[in-house]
Amino acid sequence: MTRAPLWTLGEIAHALGIACAADLADTAVGGISIDSRTLAPGDLFIALVGENSDGHAHVAAALAKGAAGALAHRPFDDPRVLHVADTLAGLTALGAAGRARFDGKLVAVSGSVGKTTTKEMLRTILAASGLTHAADASYNNHWGVPLTLARMPRDAAFAVIEIGMNHPGEIIPLATLARPDVAVLTTVASAHIGHMGSLEAIAREKASLYAALGADGIAIVPADAPHRDILLAGAAHAQAWLVGDADAARARFTRLRGGADGSEFAALIDGTPVAAHLHAPGGHMARNALLALAAAAALGANVVAGAAALSSFRPGAGRGAWRLLALPEGGRAVLLDESYNASSASMRAAFEVLAAVPARRRLAVLGDMRELGSFATAEHLGLAEPLTRAADLLWCCGEHMGALFDAVPQAMRGAHTPDARTLAPLLCAELRDGDAVLVKGSFGSRMRDVAAALDALAAHSHAEGVG
C-alpha cells in the first residue's frame, strides 16, 4: 500500500487559511525544509528570515532543486509559492496543524541539562513500540518546535518534542503548541542563570512545561531536582510521577553498576521490572535513561522492549561520545567529547566520568560556561574541588576559565589561553600515550574546534601508519 505523503500543498494552504492553485492542490509534499542547501526534491521550502540570512533569497534555488512549493511573505510570480503575512507565523500554524491531526502520543522534554540526550533515549525506547518521530537535532526553540511538529508523519505512534529556553516566558508558548500527553523535566540547574536571576526562577520557568498538560496528562518529575516543590506545584492539575530515590517514586533503580564504558542497571518502572545495558558512561546518563523509561511507561509503551533497545543507544556528537586517538609519536589516548555545551551540573557529571576512565593522566580541557551573568566567577570557581579530584591537568580557555585555572593547584595547570583556537595546538603537542582527555565547554566557547583538532591529529597519525 502506498504511504500517504507528509502533506499536500492543498492541505498546507487549508491549514494556513490561504489560497492554492487548484491544479497544485494535490501536489505531494514529502518534507518541510528551511535550508535550501539540504532540501530534498518534493519538500516545501519555508523562507524564514533570521538575523544573518533571509530565506526569500533562496526560494528560486529551492524550486529549481525540485521543491514541491515554497512559503513566503514576499511576492513571487510562481503558483508554487504560497503567500502568507509572515513565514514564521505560517510555520507555527503548520506545526499546530500537524499536532491537531496527530492521533498518537506526544512527550515533551525540557530541563537545564540532558534534554537532547533524553530525547534521543526516548526515541530509541519508543521505537521498540511503534513509529516514533523526533527531530534529528536540538530543534527546541521558537522555530524548531513548530518545524518538528510540521514534520510529524501522520501515521506516527509517538512523537518526542524537545523544548528549551534562555529567558523567562519562553517555555509556555512552545509547550502549549506541542500539547504534550506526558512532560519530562530532566533537572533544574544553573544553566542560563544570568538571564533568569536565580535557581528558583529557573525552576518556575521549567515547571511551566507542566502547565500545558491536560488533567489526564502525566508529569515526570525528577525526585532529586532542586526546588522539587515548585515542580510538583506546577503539575498539581495533572498526575505527577516522581522518578528516582523517593518513597513514592513510580520509577527507581533496583541495581546500578557503572564503569568507564557505560552502565548496566535494573529498574522498576511503574511496577514493571526492566533491565538495560547503556553504552554511555556516567551516572547522569543512567538517570536520564530512567526518566525516559518512566515517560515511555506513562505513554503506554512497552518498557521491557524499550529498556532492551537502549543497548543500541550511543551519545551524540559532542554529548559524551568517546573514542581512541592514535598519536603521532605512537600510542593512544582516549577522547571524551563533551564539546557541544556545558553548565556547572554537566561539568561535574563529566568530571565523574573522566575520573572513572583508566588512564596514566587525566586531562580536563575546558572552555567558558556562558550565560551566567554576575554568577560567572562563582560558578567557575565552584568547579575547582570536583575537578581537582577527577583530573591531573587542566587546559582551558576563555575569560571565566582563568579564575578556575588560578584556583587549582600549580601542578595541575597545563595552559590557559584566550580561546579554543589558541588552545588546540598546545594541547595537541602535549598529548601522551595513555592519556584520557575530556573536552567540554559552552557552545559559544567553540570547544568543538579542540575536539576536531584532536581528531585531525589522530587522522594524520593513522595516515602515517602510527599506532
111 is in an annotated binding site: yes
Are the beta carbons of 242 and 220 closer than 8 angstroms?
A: no
3-state SS class at 417: strand
State the distance between the two ends of the chain, measured CA to CA, in whole angstroms. 52
115 is in an annotated binding site: yes
Residue 190: closest CA among 210, 205, 175? 205
124 is in an annotated binding site: no
What percentage of the chain's residues is helix, strand, coil (to nearest 5)? 40, 25, 35
User: Among positive and negative, which fits the CA dihedral 222, 228, 229, 233?
Assistant: negative
Residue 313: closest CA among 353, 279, 336? 279
Cα 378 to Cα 142, 166, 372, 416: the distances in Å are: 31, 20, 10, 18
Instruction: Name every residue whose Cβ is closer than 8 Å to that of residue 198 and which is 6 or more positions away in sequence.
Output: none
Instruction: Name every residue whose Cβ is closer than 8 Å to that of residue 406 and which is 6 or more positions away in sequence.
Output: none
The rounded distance, in Å, linking the Cα atoms of 71 and 87 is 7
Helix (H) or strand (E) holding 150: helix 144-150
Are the beta carbons of 253 and 286 closer than 8 angstroms?
A: yes
Are the beta carbons of 77 and 66 closer than 8 angstroms?
A: no
Are the beta carbons of 186 and 292 closer than 8 angstroms?
A: no
The rounded distance, in Å, linking the Cα atoms of 151 and 441 is 31
The letter for the amino acid at 308 is: A
Q: Angle at Cα 287 formed by Cα 282 and Cα 288, nearest 5°?
A: 100
The rounded distance, in Å, linking the Cα atoms of 102 and 88 is 21
The x, y and z cell numbers of residue 119, run together, are 530525547
282 is in an annotated binding site: no
Instruction: Name every residue whose Cβ is closer than 8 Å to that of residue 457 and which is 6 or more positions away in sequence.
Output: 325, 327, 328, 428, 431
Binding positions are 111-117
Annotated binding-site ranges for ATP: 111-117
